[in-house]
C-alpha cells in the first residue's frame, strides 16, 4: 500500500478532509441538532472551534 498524506487510515484514526461532529452530553439529548463540530486537514488532524479566538487541535477521534 502506498503511503499518501491524504489516505484514510482507521488504524491511526486519520480521516483527512472530513467534518467531524460529536454530541455534547445533556444538551444534545434535549436538542439533537446541537453538538460540537470540527474539520480535518489533509493529514487528518482535527481542528475544533472551542471558543471565540480559540482553535483546539486533536490528532484522533477518540
Percentage, residues of the chain above pLDDT 70:
90
User: What is the domain partition of the chain in residue ranges?
Assistant: 10-58
Report the candidate in 24, 44, 46 with the shortest Cα–Cα distance to residue 35: 24
Question: In angstroms, rounded to a whole number, what is the distance separating the alpha carbons of residues 16 and 45?
Answer: 7
pLDDT in tens, 24-35: 999 999 999 998
**Given pLDDT bands bounded at 50, 70 and 90, which one contains residue 47?**
very high
pLDDT at residue 3 in the model: 63
Report the candidate in 45, 38, 39 with the shortest Cα–Cα distance to residue 14: 45
Q: What is the dihedral of CA 46, 47, 50, 51, to 10 degrees?
A: 180
Decide the pairing of beta strands 46-51 and 35-40: antiparallel
pLDDT in tens, 2-16: 567 778 888 877 889
Amino acid at each position: 500500500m502506498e503511503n499518501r498524506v491524504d489516505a484514510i487510515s482507521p488504524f491511526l484514526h486519520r480521516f483527512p478532509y472530513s467534518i467531524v461532529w460529536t454530541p455534547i452530553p445533556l444538551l444534545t439529548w434535549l436538542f439533537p441538532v446541537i453538538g460540537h463540530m470540527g474539520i480535518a486537514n489533509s493529514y487528518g488532524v482535527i481542528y475544533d472551534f472551542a471558543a471565540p479566538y480559540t482553535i483546539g487541535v486533536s490528532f484522533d477521534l477518540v
